[in-house]
Amino acid sequence: MATLPEDPNTTDIATAADPPRPLPWPVRWLLLGFAVLCLAMGVIGVIVPGLPTTVFILMAAWAAARSSPRLYRWLWNHRLFGPLLRNWAQGGKVSRRAKWSAAVFMAASAAVLWMGATRTWVAVAVSACMACVLIWLWRRPEP
């Protein structure tokens, strides 16, 4: 076990370089299951409008990084998901194409919701949430 440096203004190289403790196997398996579930939801989100892809892929990468280096590398190098993860890792960047895609699909989802909503307050609440997400999304930096 590394000891603390005598001078509090210096960094102990050995302490900073110690790898984190491996997680117990039940936790790793739970995280791996969560990563696979999120990856499946993200893939479905590519096809189904209104279901977010980005959030599920980010959660899958987070869980895979802690449970399966092999799955994490696959996600990181994937032609569709890799750029999304790399952009997010570089300061939470979101491409303009992804912003426009989200805006179009959210607008289409809101239109369908307004046409079929039996309760106006539900359409108002969901549309307001989508508007808040779009405002947040468009304020993200671009790569």
SS (H, E, C) the chain: CCCCCCCCCCCCHHHHHCCCCCCCHHHHHHHHHHHHHHHHHHHHHHHCCCCCCHHHHHHHHHHHHHHCHHHHHHHHHCCCHHHHHHHHHCCCCCCHHHHHHHHHHHHHHHHHHHHHCCCHHHHHHHHHHHHHHHHHHHCCCCC
What distance in Å separates the CA atoms of residue 53 and residue 49, rounded to the nearest whole number? 10
pLDDT at 78 (0 to 100)? 93
Measure the CA angle with vertex 12, ends 9 and 13; round to 5°.
Answer: 135
Q: Are 32 and 71 in contact (CB under 8 A)?
A: yes
Q: Are 128 and 69 in contact (CB under 8 A)?
A: no
* Tens of pLDDT, residues 115-141: 988 888 989 999 999 999 899 999 999
What distance in Å separates the CA atoms of residue 131 and residue 5, rounded to the nearest whole number? 50
* Tens of pLDDT, residues 12-48: 444 545 556 777 888 899 999 999 999 999 999 888 8
- CA separation, residue 121 to residues 51, 125, 126, 133 (Å): 21, 6, 9, 18
Q: Mean pLDDT across the stretch 49-69?
A: 87
